[in-house]
Amino acid sequence: MKFAAIILLFILCISASAQVIYKTVKADGTVVYSDIRSDGAVPVNLSAMNTVVVPSLNTPSNRTASHNKSVSKSKPTIQYVVSIRSPAAEETLRDNSGAVTITADVSPKKPGKFELILDNQTVKTQSNSQFQLESVNRGAHIIQVNFLDNSGKILASSKQQTFYLQKASALINAN
C-alpha cells in the first residue's frame, strides 16, 4: 500500500513539473510567457532540471579562510586628511594681475605629490603643497587639492571650496 502511494505521489510530481510554457510575442514587440495557450503562442522547451550549488557560508573551511584573509590584512590603513589653508573658504582676493597663492596641508605627513584642481580641471601636480597661479580670471573659482602617492593613486582629497578674485575694472580711465 505504501509503495502504491509513493508511486502515485511520484507520478503527480512528474505531471506537475511537466507542464508546458508558451511564449507569445505581441504586436508591440513585448514578450509574454504563460502556462495558458493563446493565439500565436509557441511552446518553450525547458530543461528538466535547473540546479545551482552554492557553498554554505557557515562551513568551518570558509570561516577559516575568511579569518586568514582578515589576519593577513590586519595592517592598519592610514587615513590622510588634506586641508586647504589659504585662501579661506569664500574669501575674496584682490589682485589686478590675477596672481593667486594656494596652500594645502596633509596630515599625517608623508612624501607624495599634490594635485590642484581649479574649476574642475587639473591645473598642476607637484611635490610642494604651495601653488602659485598667474593670470587667473576675475570671478568665483572652485578649488580642491588631492594628495597622491608616488604612483599617482589619490590617497586623500580636500573638500571643494570657493574663493573670489576681484580685479580693478579695465574700463576705469587712469587719466
Task: Give the Cα separation of 89 and 54 in Å (integer).
Answer: 53
The residues that bridge with 162 in the sheet, in sequence order, are 142
Q: Write a three-state SS string for 64-87.
A: HHHHHHHHHCCCCCCCCEEEEEEC
pLDDT tens, residue by residue, 118-170: 999 999 999 888 999 998 998 999 999 999 988 888 889 999 999 999 988 77
Task: Give the Cα separation of 98 and 96 in Å (integer).
Answer: 6
In the chain the domains, ranked by start, together with CATH numbers, are: 1-49 (no CATH), 81-166 (2.60.40.10)
Provide the pLDDT for residue 11. 56
Provide the pLDDT for residue 41. 87
Cis ω for the linkage preceding 108 (within 30 of 0):
yes
What percentage of the chain carries pLDDT values higher than 90?
A: 28
